[in-house]
Each structure stands twice: as C-alpha cells, then as structure tokens.
C-alpha cells in the first residue's frame, strides 16, 4: 500500500545534503522534496517491507570531532552514497551473462576482438583536413569493416548510421517511449612518435596479449571502452535481450585533436534525431577507479564537469628596420614584458563549497582510511566554518600543484615566435598561452582578467590594445599594436555541472558499486563514489544540449593501465576489459528497468 503524506513525513531524514552545483539546487531538494507519496514511490525501488530502498540501511556520521574514516557502508551528508544497484527484472539474464563472462573461451574471444581493433592505427592529427579532403581519415573505414565482420549481430539488429562518413551511431530501438540512454566513446588514437618505436616493449600496433596485458596505442584510450560497449551489445543480443528503453552508442573519430569532424557532427545529428534534452543520461570516457588511501576501499570517480579552455594569442606588431639603429625596446622585448606580467599575475585559486573539487575532497576525507587526520578534521569543519574552509584551501594548495589546477584557472605559455633574421628588427612577435578555465569562471572573465593585467604595460609603451576584436586602449599608431585573440577558435566555457540527485546519478553510482562489489577480480572492502572534475576535455563538450546528466567514467582501475596513456608502452590489463563489459551490461539492464530516469 502506498505511504500517506503523513507517514512519509515521519520517516527519519537520511542525512542533510549539502548543495553541490553552482546553482541553488541541492541533493536534499532533489531527493527529499516530494509533492506526493505516490510520486516518490514511482521513482524508487521498494524493499519487501514497502519502503524505498533509498531509505534503507542509511546511517549518518558527520561529527568532525570523531577522527578516522567512515566505513563505506556508513552514509555521510558530506559525501552522500547510494546503494549498489543490481538488475531485478533482468536478474536471471544478468546471472547468465556473468557466468558467460567468467569462461575462458569468452575471455580469449574478447581479447582477440580487442587486439584486432588495436592493430588498426586510427590516428588523428592536429593538422587533419576536412573529411573528404584528407586521405589520412581513410584508415577509419578499415576499422568499420573490422567492426562489421567481428560483430555481425550488432549490425544485423541495430540501425547503424554513419555521420560525416566516419562517425558511428548505433540505435537499438526499445519497446517503450522511455528516454533513451547514450553511451559514447571515440575511435581515434594519439599518433605514435616514430622516433620512439624502438622504446616500446612490443610494437605499438601489435595488439599483443601476453597473458596479462594487451599492448598497443589506444588500448587504454579509448578502444577499450569502445570494444567493451560493442561486446556488451553483442552478448545481450546473443541471449535474446530486447530493450524496453532505447540504447544509443555513438563514437567520434577525432577526439584526440579537434573533435569537430567527429563528435561535432554527431552532436547535431543526435539533437536533430532525438531532440534537445532527448536523452536520460550520457556516459562517456573519463574518471576511473583507484584505492589511493589503502584499506581496500575503492574510490570510483566519475567526472561530473569539465574545466573550460582557451588558447590566447598575444601578438605584438611594431615597426621593422635595421637592427643597427634599434629602439629601446624591440617587439620581442615588449612581448617578454607582457609574458612576464601574465606569469606574475596568476589566477586566484578558490575552493568553493558549491564546486565539484569540494565534493571530491569531502568524499576522500570522509572515507579514505589513511587520509591525514588533520586535513580530515579541517574538511569536516569547512562544511560550515569559513575560516576552516580557507585554511583547508591553503593546506591543500601547499601540498600539491594538482590542487591549484583543481581550484582555479591555470595558464601556461607554451608557444613563442618572433624574429626572422639577426640584423632585422622583428615586426611581428607572438606567444600562445594555454588556459584551463576553473569550473566557477568563464571565458569572458578570463578575457577581462588579461585585459586588466596587460593594460598598464600597453599604456607604458603608448601602444594600442586590440582585445578579442575590440579596441580596449587606443595609443600612438607608430608605437604599435598588441592584439589578444583566440588562437585557434576553440574557446570553451566550463561545462554544466551534472546534478548529483536521485535518478541518473544514483543509477550510475549503484551500477558501479554493484559491478565492483561483485567482482572476483578487484579485491575491495567497499566502494565509494566520489564525483570529480575533469581537468581536460572530452567529446562531451559537444553534447551539452542532449542531456543534463553527463557522466565521464571509464570502468577499470588505475592499476589496469601499464604505463599511462598517450605514451610509450601503452597497455591495458586484459581482465579489466571483462570488468568493463560487466559494467556496461549492468548499466544497460539497470537503465532498462529503471523508473527514475
């Protein structure tokens, strides 16, 4: 029998939830504000006793005076957790597939399929021309042919659409009108530097399986996700599964360069086909899993937002002439003054309670067994004490430069040009400054900061300042011009922050916990979901219009990557590919039977 409003209001509050997004929404508002009992119960699974599972076994411990990590099964308002979510309606199918995935035959077949994809060098380059003009794109057709021959069931049962020739969209029609889910990856890989080939233990495109690792460029970024997704669909089809909720896979082919030819075109196709906000959720590559604080506690870190991006070109134009009669300051000298000013005025780092970094810190400090107790105490006090928040910020900034990157906008002068001959005054000099924009900032705020920082120097030399298409300072024409511009037309504001509320987030969290918690490969004592901020950008930057619920998560652990990504000896632990298939299987089955999306 449904609970009455009175009965529902009498339920114990399962923790006060602090806001996580930049706007005024909060987890407590999203989860506990209910118009009627029946509307709540239509969104959640019920236990045999009739109560929503969200309210079961939820105990909170938020006393900052108690040092030591909380066990993963004890909830905290500082880092709200959702329970592991296993398929219920599809429980028998899930069990059958788990048995299949554990067989040696399935594993070896999977490794062979993965190896074959790695052997096709789908490199994308920063200087790639448009599709149809640059023949280097043609290698992707080889990969497509490989997919079609390796996964015939997928191609026979799903609608496969090619977008801008090499973008792939797989549409698996559901039997209901429930919002579809979107799962994405990318086909391209970072080019292998030919001068480093002799430093690889195995050929970079060998796809060699040595009994533990599968070697080759793209094995970790991002052909593992791509192959895991296709094998998952193939496995479900082989068991006769027909989804109630439509499932869409999409993969771009230039994520490692501009993204505009692949995901840039796919985004338009998906919005036209499914509509704005047409998907219940999106899962793309991103954060993974690790045990950074001992005790066997696995932290899973789906990225719920990304920093913004801007490459600023600072160009100084001055009169040329013979260097035998030089001015007091050449264009190179003036540019050096400007660069010095930029580096002398870094962006302020701010740890904000409303930001994703604060949420991440609350999770690691709450549940990390070996997390420093003094920082743990500060983190708890920082929930409500401004002085503690500032001290926490200072302690973390002093501990590692990583926190500076998390808390603020970073800047790096990476490219500089100027001068053509030793006896000729430079007429044009320039520097390019790479910026990763803080979650709480914007492109416009960054541009304003640069104008404020550089204006005094521009005035000192009586020059004109053309800042992003507008004259900010009009000086003496003969003195020259300083021009600030978007170097490659790639300006990007920070992404929207995915809400951490019951629904897509709880489904993803529960699926991750169920996958890792039931794994016979990962030796864990518990799993904690710690939402994170991505310092880089993925193809999701093109997909903001498709859903508010964008998660960047790659199944697997940090120890499953041999030497890192984009580097020599890239390799993936073979067993982790099976774990990825287990995750995507549970994700599809859980979303298929969910009423909360």
Q: What tens digit of pLDDT does each residue of 450-483 get?
A: 999 999 999 999 999 999 999 999 999 899 999 9
23 has pLDDT over 50: no
Q: Are 177 and 244 in contact (CB under 8 A)?
A: no
Spatial separation of the C-alpha atoms in residues 180 and 177, rounded to whole Å: 8
Strand partners, 252: 186
Spatial separation of the C-alpha atoms in residues 332 and 327, rounded to whole Å: 12
Consult the annotation and say whether 186 binds a ligand.
yes
Whole-number pLDDT of residue 63: 55
Tokens for 346?
Answer: 């870094």
Q: Are 335 and 429 in contact (CB under 8 A)?
A: yes
Whole-number pLDDT of residue 28: 25
Q: What tens digit of pLDDT does each residue of 154-177 get?
A: 999 999 999 999 999 999 999 999
Picking from 168, 375, 151, 198, the residue whose alpha carbon sits closest to that of residue 262 is 168
Of the listed ranges 42-56, 139-153, 374-388, 475-489, the least confidently predicted one is 42-56
Fold of 308-486: Alpha-Beta Plaits (3.30.70)
Spatial separation of the C-alpha atoms in residues 575 and 110, rounded to whole Å: 10
140 has pLDDT over 90: yes
Whole-number pLDDT of residue 56: 30
Q: Are 277 and 502 in contact (CB under 8 A)?
A: no
Spatial separation of the C-alpha atoms in residues 597 and 590, rounded to whole Å: 10
Residue boundaries of the structural domains of the chain: 5-55, 118-288+527-593, 308-486
Catalytic residue IDs:
188, 255
User: What is the model's pTM?
Assistant: 0.88
The b-or-e profile of 113-148 (16+ CB within 10 A means b, else e) is bbbbbbbbbbbbbeebeebeeeeebebbeebbeebe
Of the listed ranges 7-21, 24-38, 338-352, 358-372, the least confidently predicted one is 24-38
Of the listed ranges 46-55, 109-118, 196-205, 520-529, the least confidently predicted one is 46-55
Confidence of residue 66 (pLDDT cuts 50, 70, 90): low
Give the CA distances from residue 401 to residues 118, 253, 367, 408, in Å, rounded to whole numbers and listed in that order. 34, 32, 23, 11
Cα 239 to the center of its chain, rounded Å: 32
Average pLDDT along the chain:
90
47 has pLDDT over 80: no
252 has pLDDT over 60: yes
Spatial separation of the C-alpha atoms in residues 580 and 514, rounded to whole Å: 12
34 has pLDDT over 80: no
Whole-number pLDDT of residue 26: 31
Q: What is the mean pLDDT of residues 88-102?
A: 98
Whole-number pLDDT of residue 477: 87
Q: What tens digit of pLDDT does each residue of 269-300 get?
A: 999 999 999 999 999 999 999 999 999 999 99
Consult the annotation and say whether 221 binds a ligand.
yes
**Which residues have a Cβ under 8 Å from the Cβ of 129 and sit 6 or more positions away?**
none
Q: What's the 3-state SS for 493-510?
A: CCCCCCCCCCCHHHHHHH
Consult the annotation and say whether 566 binds a ligand.
yes
Q: What is the C-alpha radius of gyration for the chain, rounded to an integer number of angstroms?
A: 26
512 has pLDDT over 70: yes
Confidence of residue 234 (pLDDT cuts 50, 70, 90): very high
Query: What are the phi and psi torsion angles at 101 (to 5°)?
Result: -65, -20
Spatial separation of the C-alpha atoms in residues 341 and 466, rounded to whole Å: 17
Spatial separation of the C-alpha atoms in residues 132 and 554, rounded to whole Å: 32
Q: What tens digit of pLDDT does each residue of 522-559 get?
A: 989 999 999 999 999 999 999 999 999 999 999 999 99
Burial (CB < 10 A; 0-12, 13-18, 19+), residue 287, is buried
Q: Are 432 and 487 in contact (CB under 8 A)?
A: yes
Picking from 248, 57, 263, 231, the residue whose alpha carbon sits closest to that of residue 170 is 248
Whole-number pLDDT of residue 51: 28
Q: What tens digit of pLDDT does each residue of 341-394 get?
A: 999 999 999 999 999 999 999 999 999 999 999 999 999 999 999 999 999 999
Tokens for 411?
Answer: 């800047």
118-288+527-593: CATH superfamily: Zn peptidases (3.40.630.10)
Whole-number pLDDT of residue 39: 27
The DSSP string of 270-283 is HHHHH-TT--SEEE
Of the listed ranges 33-37, 259-263, 497-501, the least confidently predicted one is 33-37
264 has pLDDT over 80: yes
Q: What is the mean pLDDT of residues 424-437?
A: 97
The DSSP string of 55-73 is GTT--B---TTS-SPPPTT
Confidence of residue 88 (pLDDT cuts 50, 70, 90): very high
Q: pLDDT exceeding 90 applies to what percent of the chain?
A: 88
Spatial separation of the C-alpha atoms in residues 589 and 247, rounded to whole Å: 10
Give the CA distances from residue 520 to residues 101, 103, 120, in Å, rounded to whole numbers and listed in that order. 12, 13, 32
Burial (CB < 10 A; 0-12, 13-18, 19+), residue 303, is buried
Q: Are 541 and 492 in contact (CB under 8 A)?
A: yes
CB atoms within 10 A of CB 149: 10
Q: What's the 3-state SS for 165-188?
A: CCEEEEEECCCCCCCCEEEEEECC
Cα torsion 542, 546, 549, 553 to 10°: value is -40
């Amino acid at each position: 029998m449904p609970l009455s409003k009175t009965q529902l209001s009498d339920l114990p509050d399962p923790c006060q939830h602090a806001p996580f997004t930049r706007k005024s929404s909060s987890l407590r508002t999203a989860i506990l504000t209910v118009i009627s009992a029946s509307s709540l119960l239509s969104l959640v699974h019920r236990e045999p006793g009739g109560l929503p599972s969200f309210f079961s076994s939820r105990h909170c411990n938020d006393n900052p005076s108690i040092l030591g990590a909380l066990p993963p099964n004890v909830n905290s308002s500082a880092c709200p957790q959702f329970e592991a979510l296993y398929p219920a309606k599809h429980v028998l199918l899930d069990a059958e597939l788990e048995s299949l995935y554990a067989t040696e035959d399935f594993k070896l077949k999977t490794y062979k399929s993965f190896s074959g994809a790695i052997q096709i060098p789908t490199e994308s380059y920063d200087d790639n021309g448009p599709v149809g003009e640059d023949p280097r794109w043609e290698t992707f057709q080889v990969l497509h042919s490989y997919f079609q021959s390796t996964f015939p069931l997928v191609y026979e049962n799903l609608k496969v659409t090619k977008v801008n020739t090499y973008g792939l969209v797989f549409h698996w029609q559901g039997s209901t009108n429930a919002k579809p889910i979107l799962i994405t990856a990318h086909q391209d890989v970072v080019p292998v530097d030919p001068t480093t080939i002799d430093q690889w233990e195995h050929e970079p495109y060998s796809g060699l399986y040595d009994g533990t690792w599968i070697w080759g460029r793209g094995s970790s970024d991002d052909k593992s996700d791509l192959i895991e997704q296709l094998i998952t669909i193939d496995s479900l089809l082989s068991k006769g599964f027909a989804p109630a909720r439509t499932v869409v896979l999409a993969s771009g082919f230039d994520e490692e360069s501009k993204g505009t030819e692949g995901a840039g075109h796919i985004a338009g196709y998906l919005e036209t086909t499914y509509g704005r906000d047409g998907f219940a959720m999106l899962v793309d590559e991103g954060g993974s899993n690790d045990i950074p604080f001992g005790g066997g506690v696995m932290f899973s870190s789906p990225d719920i937002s990304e920093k913004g991006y801007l490459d600023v070109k600072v160009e100084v134009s001055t009169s040329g002439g013979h260097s035998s009669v030089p001015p007091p300051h050449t264009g190179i000298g003036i540019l050096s003054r400007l660069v010095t000013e930029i580096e002398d005025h870094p962006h302020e780092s701010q740890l904000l309670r409303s930001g994703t970094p604060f949420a991440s810190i609350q999770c690691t400090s709450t549940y990390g067994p070996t997390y420093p107790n003094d920082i743990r105490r500060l983190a708890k006090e920082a929930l409500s004490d401004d002085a503690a928040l500032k001290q926490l910020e200072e302690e973390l900034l002093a501990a590692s430069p990583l926190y500076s990157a998390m808390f603020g906008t970073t800047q790096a002068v990476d490219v500089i040009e100027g001068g053509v001959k030793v006896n000729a005054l430079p007429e044009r000099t320039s520097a390019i400054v790479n910026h990763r924009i803080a979650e709480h900032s914007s492109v416009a705020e960054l541009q304003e900061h640069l104008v404020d920082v550089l204006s005094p120097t521009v005035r000192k030399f009586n020059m004109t300042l053309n800042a992003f298409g507008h004259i900010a300072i009009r000086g003496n024409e003969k003195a020259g011009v300083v021009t600030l511009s978007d170097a490659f037309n790639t300006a990007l504001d920070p992404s929207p922050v995915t809400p951490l509320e019951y629904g897509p987030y709880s489904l993803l969290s529960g699926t991750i916990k169920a996958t890792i918690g039931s794994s016979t490969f990962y030796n864990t004592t518990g799993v904690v979901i710690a939402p994170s901020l991505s310092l880089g950008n993925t193809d999701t930057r093109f997909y903001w219009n498709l859903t508010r619920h964008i998660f960047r998560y790659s199944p697997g652990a940090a120890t499953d990557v041999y030497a890192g990504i984009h580097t020599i000896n890239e390799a993936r632990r073979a067993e982790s590919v099976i774990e990825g298939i287990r995750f995507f299987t549970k994700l599809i089955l859980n979303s298929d039977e969910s009423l909360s999306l």
